[in-house]
A and B are shown apart, each in its own frame.
Chain A
């Protein structure tokens, strides 16, 4: 008989004794394999994996939020810079407009003043002309009245009635005399 089977048999016997001492047997060993596998699967599939999935999703959202916030801050700074530039430009344009408006207003006021002065001069001239015309008219009427009075007075003085032709000559003479 070979020594190897004997050695194996002895070894097998020792293992059997050891297994019996510690209560190791195939059914209970397999039962514990199944128990652990089942627990590990259920635990990971229905608790750890979904929780970690949510965690990764949340991490991605936070990272996106931070990136968005950074982009928003940069956009805000850019908008601030643009606003400042626009305000500066608008301020410069407003100042130019104010200057231009002041100059235009000055011109307009001066033109209005000139027009008013011209119109006042025209009104004055017209008034003077009307006054002169009225004066001349009044003078003519006065002369005519004076002449008529002269004739009437003369007629009374000489107690002579004058015919129309004589009256006309006297009036004319009186008028000429008054006119001179």
Chain B
């Protein structure tokens, strides 16, 4: 269907459940049918870039307020991630991990902006259907679209594969997954051989769990954001004021936690294979 200004309105109360999938707006750009989540991604992405660029400006040795804030956040995030991925890997992984955190956090919080989830357009029913027109969200938080969270998890998995193969190597990865970590001199050859089979089987399970990260990362984020949207909509149907604000405050926390969870898990997955310096550091520290 095509959009027209006459279709827009701000409905007072629309307690209908949020659709689990993004809605096609009926507009195509370069052959890509635009959905409300893609439009939201573009708008929020543009606002993020403009906002950060305006805050930082031309970075100076004596920073302004905006640059200080961006520096503080970036350093805080880097200092949080450095013990996980290790000093050797933080410089290489920080760009992508920082991207995950900022993107997920602000896209999550974008769901709380006025207009997201309330600005709707009418979609006419099919001829002869007999049903009334339905109201479709014009804009939708990017992370409440499984395409977005799946894209993030696939990128996370792709970067994990790259970092592990590039900086740890296939040998380290294979030993980490399937290798027998027992000491042959302590337990004897027979027991060691028996354990080898167990480690091999555990490695198989580990491979499945690694592949399953694609599902767990994407559905965890999608589920939380989509669930939050539904919660706010449902509460808005019960009481249009006050109660949705409480739910929105909860969503602020959920958005932050989910951004941290996704970023930290991506860092942990990389650090588990690539960071072998933490243990030594700890030993030296003690």
Contact = CB atoms under 8 A, between A and B. Distances in A.
A43 B60 CA distance: 17
A23 B147 contact: yes
Nearest to B95: A44
Contacts, number: 130
A21 B147 CA distance: 12
B41 interface: yes
Contacts of A53: 59
A32 B52 contact: no
Interface string A11-40: 000000000011111011111110111111
Interface residues of B, number: 46
The interface centre, meaning the residue of B21, B37, B48, B222 with most chain A CB atoms within 10 A of its CB, is B21
B193 interface: no
A140 interface: no
Q: Size range of the interface on A?
A: 35 or more
Q: Is the interface of A mostly helix, strand, loop or mixed?
A: helix
A35 B41 contact: yes
B146 A22 contact: yes
B61 A51 contact: no
Contacts of B98: 40, 43-44, 48
Contacts of B142: 32, 35
A52 B53 contact: no
Contacts of B37: 28, 32
21 contacts: A22-B20, A22-B146, A27-B31, A27-B32, A28-B38, A29-B150, A29-B154, A31-B32, A31-B38, A33-B151, A33-B155, A35-B38, A35-B45, A36-B99, A36-B103, A36-B152, A46-B53, A48-B52, A51-B56, A55-B75, A57-B61
Interface of A: 21-25, 27-33, 35-44, 46-55, 57-58, 61
Which 7 A-B pairs rank lowest in CB-CB distance, beginning with the nearest? A23-B21, A40-B99, A32-B151, A22-B146, A28-B147, A54-B59, A50-B59
